[in-house]
Chains A and B, each alone.
Chain A
């Protein structure tokens, strides 16, 4: 998308982070919403905080906006400590989940609100509002009140209002949560385009992993007030660092097992649950005989009726459920140990002469670079 194909900032050594969150803790009474979180976010990033409800992601966003006081820790934005800077003085704007459009003002006045507070000359306000209305394609609604708009239009107004002050950082709290599926997909790409065009750093909070995948340059997965993994979307999906991340992002099959051979470039794992041994082509630094979890994504498995010729990574079971989804089908396969494995297969042809069906016995196999070993 960008002209330069240099390495992203977060991969460069010594790059200066735009937002530095240092050992931030926020407690509400006894409850710890954000627990000793440290995180660097770089300029022009579209960073997604992904987590379930109560994971602390919204609290972290509100800390950046200045609505929550820190229990301990430090937040620096562009090198400036935000400790004693009130929300109205921060170079940050936020788009709220409820959009929070002022019901008693027209769309144009809503958008102009921020500029008026800064005593920008009237003429310039009018110009910038007009420009923003055009960019968001909402010129036709300039004189309407928020309650006369549809959900999608409100979302655009809210975005316009939060961008009009040209903030260095835009915080978005579930920006697409209130939109229906079709509109959400369109808006996702639009949001990325706007971010690219304006060069604003975005921090997005979402519980929707698909949204995070499409939007983000990097994803921070949050749970119980802790950021468990920060990585690019592909890495979060392919190389989850923990069981929590693996289960939260996408669906995955997990097998308990014990390592019986640990080399530099591979490990072998014995699993009673799976009824077979696993071979994973990356080393794991752990104590011998340690209990680990092997994780394999449903789409990474091959399904055959005949036993494939491989010693490792091969399960045998019976199909108990099939869900046809159009582009793919989901199979639930029950192993001898009563463990149920989820497999997805793309529907490559319209008519399959010999389709897999209920009660069929099948082999599930995968390559030794497809699975991940999780130690936590």
Chain B
């Protein structure tokens, strides 16, 4: 028993080092005084100050946050509807295909999703004139397509754990289907909705590939700016930026997990 647990703790330690050593070094180097990325020159926060004076990065951050916020919200609305239908409709012809389609964006290579959306946007513009050009709108649409799939899966699993008789009881007590949804179903799946929103937000914030395909000039997201900066050589500024992003993503993921845990407890 003790030897076994020793083995477990050592192997998990190695695992964690493997996962988090690069991130940790990045965070440490973001406080590097030296202008050279690889040479340690003492502690400093000057790159953070510089970061906030860089208009290009600030603009990109605003674009990214805006996109992530709207994407997360849209994904939640669409994802809840999809998840609800999949778990409540019972059997209908082609249900398997529909549920397969919902989860297809989860496993589709991003390059393919990005390319196909780009083609769609271009041909739509030629056909009906919308969306005119590519920019924030197209990024939001693109991000929503794959983020809503995640939300749908989370919501569906939460709904399938929910006791059917809760909804029946509400109906029995006089709740009509629409009020039933808002009074009973929605509050009970709210932890799943919150964690779905947070997950969608983080994923939208993270995405580089799809955004690169569907964004237009002047509407670069933060990951795109970082990527282009790195191609010109890594600057310590990018380390600072990455540290901030890690912080935001970590908060998002941790609170999503916390919500999921809370959900399990109340069930």
Where the two chains meet, the residues of A that have a C-beta atom closer than 8 Å to any C-beta of B are 65, 67, 86-89, 92-94, 96-98, 100, 102-104, 113-114, 117-118, 147, 161-162, 165
Contacts and interface: CB of A to CB of B under 8 A. Distances in A.
Nearest to B187: A104
Contact of A88 (B165, B172, B188): B172
B266 A102 contact: no
Given A117-B179, A147-B266, A100 B168 contact: yes
What are the 7 A-B residue pairs with the smallest beta carbon separation, nearest first? A117-B174, A114-B173, A100-B169, A100-B165, A96-B165, A87-B171, A104-B187
Contacts of B169: 94, 96, 100, 102, 161
Nearest to B177: A88
A65 B174 contact: no
Interface class of chain B by DSSP: helix
B174 A118 contact: yes
B172 A103 contact: no
8 contacts: A67-B168, A87-B168, A88-B176, A93-B172, A100-B166, A102-B188, A103-B166, A117-B174
Given A100-B163, A104-B187, A92 B173 contact: no
A93 to B, nearest CB: 6
B175 interface: yes
Among A92, A103, A165, the one with the most B-chain Cβ atoms within 10 Å of its Cβ is A103
B170 interface: yes
Given A87-B168, A161-B169, 20 more contacts: A67-B171, A86-B171, A88-B175, A88-B176, A93-B172, A93-B173, A94-B172, A97-B165, A100-B166, A100-B169, A103-B267, A104-B188, A104-B266, A117-B173, A117-B174, A117-B179, A118-B174, A161-B173, A162-B172, A165-B174
Contacts of B246: none
A361 to B, nearest CB: 55
B109 to A, nearest CB: 40
A98 B166 CA distance: 9
Contacts of B174: 88-89, 114, 117-118, 165
A305 to B, nearest CB: 56
Interface in B145-170: 163, 165-166, 168-170
Nearest to A117: B174
Interface string B250-267: 000000000000000011
A89 B175 CA distance: 9
Chain B interface size band reads 10 to 19
Interface string B181-209: 00010011000000000000000000000
A73 to B, nearest CB: 21
A149 B188 CA distance: 18
Nearest to A29: B91
Given A100-B166, A102-B166, A65 B179 contact: no
Nearest to B167: A100
Nearest to B163: A98
Residue of B168, B169, B170, B266 with most chain A CB atoms under a 10 A cut-off = B169
B175 A102 contact: no
A114 B174 CA distance: 6
A206 to B, nearest CB: 17
Contacts of B176: 86, 88
B172 A102 contact: no
A104 B163 CA distance: 13
B231 to A, nearest CB: 51
A65 B173 contact: no
Contacts of B175: 88, 113, 117
A165 B175 CA distance: 13
A98 B165 contact: yes
Nearest to B91: A29
Nearest to B186: A104
Interface in B10-61: none
A113 B173 CA distance: 7
Contacts of A165: 173-174
Contacts of B188: 102-104
Contact of B171 (A88, A98, A147): A88
